[in-house]
């Protein structure tokens, strides 16, 4: 078999890829050397803006297989029959660090699944925690700024991190998760994934249900202590990426079992706390886990940049039978995620191989823009309606409508009888063993003790006291001891 010929991007054969064209031996280089200029120009443009959050990521392909009948709750086609398989792409990520950050750090992990269904791509964009730090998207840019590098010092500052949390009592539950034993997963394979938000399912009869997704790892949950994480991050910053890649290459395919919690829509208004509050979980005794299927990863990407870095997930990519809920954070993400990808990758990012539908064909009137590759066919019209058999609307909403009432304006979320920023954080603390509590307290105190302002420390301590008196007392004593050293 003859060796392939190296060519320029226009397909012309390259005569010499070792030496640039020059004006005589040892002379200055020539502007006419098209191959040299093309290589340097492309090299200058190899990087695209990294994600503001979830920049550091890994991913793999696989499939989702339905194991249990859920057709009483949704008419989504990919969930329509036991045994049905759908191709998926799953991207894992850290949240706060940059593209060059280490894997084994204390940070939530993104858990984003793209289902390539026959009715279009469905993106389920969640984390490895069932809750989050805030409940309204208007606070998200401020929250992330507080966790990122300070504009003056150029590094993450405990003053900024804890000052924001001092003004966000609803963050106490997620802080307890993050600073606990599951804050540093041993690998991406050994952590759970959650949809985190509340979503809506609609069945064939038009009945609406609110759901929460739980992907339980079949490898077992394994985590690292703060000391183990620091050591691993220093020795092998790519530890989680390497583990995922090598496991799949060996044929040790990681898997998760998907369960859902299902709440009839009519029960939401009278539930004892706001079921659309992202800082809270639904107790399993109220809405038990119901098994849906199994997610398996069995193929690594061929090119990390093309398939992981350019993978674009958006929570507004729904399919018939699945839709949004009034969850404020979800509502904000419906816009923000798609907009981020239009900025990073361009308006035609959905035509990239990793983002394009695989089990169906996108058919719409979107045209042109940077890197457009789909003309939609010869003489195809770019307006609707038309008289030329162009794609037409179905008239059938993807999900049931959400009831609305009241006046427009900026409103706090409606209060339910048991709404509280601290109760579930206290419940989580009380579920921990003594050793787990000790590590949690040490992790919190290690950061909070570095804060320079006493009033910020006191505000945060008040949150832990409100969650559980013992919790607050132990954190207070640990902070005091570290500040006296």
Q: Read off the pLDDT of residues 7-46 as tens digits, 9 standing for 90 and up.
A: 999 898 999 999 999 999 999 999 999 999 999 888 899 9
Annotated catalytic sites, by residue? 54, 127
d(CA 481, CA 266): 51
Checking if the pLDDT of 355 tops 80, the result is yes
Q: Give residue-wise pLDDT tens across range 71-112.
A: 999 999 999 999 999 999 999 999 999 999 999 999 999 999
Confidence of residue 2 (pLDDT cuts 50, 70, 90): confident
3-class DSSP state of 306: helix
Please name the residues in contact with 68: beta carbons below 8 A apart, sequence gap of 6 or more: 82, 290, 291, 292, 293
d(CA 217, CA 210): 23
Q: Give residue-wise pLDDT tens across range 410-458.
A: 888 888 888 899 999 999 999 999 999 999 999 999 999 999 999 999 9
Q: How many CB atoms lie within 10 A of CB 358?
A: 16
Contact 175, 426 (CB under 8 A): no
Checking if the pLDDT of 375 tops 80, the result is no
Please name the residues in contact with 295: beta carbons below 8 A apart, sequence gap of 6 or more: 62, 63, 64, 88, 90, 113, 215, 255, 256, 257, 258
Q: Taking Cα atoms as reference points, which of 115, 62, 69 lies closest to residue 255? A: 62
Give how far the C-alpha of residue 216 lies from the chain's centroid of Cα atoms, to the nearest Å: 16
d(CA 329, CA 131): 11
Structure confidence at residue 218 (pLDDT): 98
Contact 335, 314 (CB under 8 A): no
Contact 230, 191 (CB under 8 A): no
Both structure tokens of 449: 């003790």
Contact 418, 274 (CB under 8 A): no
Structure confidence at residue 412 (pLDDT): 83
Please indicate whether residue 380 or residue 84 has the higher confidence score (pLDDT): 84
d(CA 290, CA 219): 19
- Where b means 16+ CB within 10 Å and e means fewer, 412-429 reads eeeebeeeebbbbbbebb
Structure confidence at residue 326 (pLDDT): 94
């Amino acid at each position: 078999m003859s060796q392939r010929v190296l060519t320029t991007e226009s397909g012309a054969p390259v005569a010499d890829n070792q030496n640039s064209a020059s004006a005589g031996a040892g002379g200055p280089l020539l502007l006419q050397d098209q191959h040299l200029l093309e290589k340097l120009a492309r090299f200058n443009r190899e990087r695209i803006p990294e994600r503001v959050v979830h920049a550091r990521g890994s991913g793999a392909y696989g499939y989702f297989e339905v194991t249990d009948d859920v057709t009483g709750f949704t008419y989504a086609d990919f969930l329509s029959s036991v045994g049905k398989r759908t191709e998926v792409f799953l991207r894992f990520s850290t949240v706060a660090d940059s593209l060059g950050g280490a894997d084994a750090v204390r940070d939530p992990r993104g858990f984003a699944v793209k289902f390539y269904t026959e009715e279009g791509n469905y993106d389920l964009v969640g984390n490895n925690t069932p809750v989050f730090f805030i409940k309204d998207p208007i606070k998200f840019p401020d929250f992330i700024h507080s966790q990122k590098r300070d504009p003056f010092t150029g590094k993450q500052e405990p003053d900024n991190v804890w000052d924001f949390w001092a003004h966000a009592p609803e963050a106490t539950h997620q802080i307890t998760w993050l600073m606990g034993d599951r804050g540093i997963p041993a690998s991406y394979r050994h952590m759970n994934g959650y949809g985190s938000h509340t979503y809506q399912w609609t069945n064939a009869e038009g009945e609406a249900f609110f759901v929460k997704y739980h992907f339980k790892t079949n490898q077992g949950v394994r985590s690292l202590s703060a000391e183990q994480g620091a050591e691993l991050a220093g020795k092998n910053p790519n530890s989680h990426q390497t583990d995922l890649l090598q496991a799949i290459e060996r044929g040790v395919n990681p898997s998760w079992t998907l369960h859902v919690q299902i709440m009839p829509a009519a029960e939401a208004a009278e539930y004892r706390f706001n079921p659309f509050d992202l800082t809270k979980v639904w107790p399993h005794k109220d809405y038990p886990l119901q098994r849906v299927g199994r997610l398996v990863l069995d193929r690594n990407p061929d090119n990390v940049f093309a398939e992981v870095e350019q993978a674009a997930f958006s929570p507004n990519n729904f399919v018939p039978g699945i839709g949004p809920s009034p969850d404020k954070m979800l509502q904000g993400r419906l816009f923000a995620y798609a907009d981020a990808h239009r900025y990073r990758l361009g308006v035609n990012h959905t035509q990239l191989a990793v983002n394009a539908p695989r089990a169906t064909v996108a058919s719409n009137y979107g045209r042109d823009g940077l890197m457009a590759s789909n003309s939609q066919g010869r003489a195809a019209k770019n307006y609707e309606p038309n008289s030329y058999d162009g794609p037409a609307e179905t008239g059938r909403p993807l999900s049931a409508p959400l009831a609305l009432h009241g006046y427009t304006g900026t409103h706090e979320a409606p209060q339910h009888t048991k709404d509280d920023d601290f109760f579930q954080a206290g419940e989580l603390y009380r579920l921990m063993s003594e050793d787990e509590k000790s590590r949690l307290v040490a992790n919190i105190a290690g950061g909070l003790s570095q804060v320079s302002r006493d009033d910020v420390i006191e505000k945060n301590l008040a949150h832990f006291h409100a969650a559980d008196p013992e919790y607050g007392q132990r954190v207070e004593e640990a902070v005091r001891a570290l500040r006296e050293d």
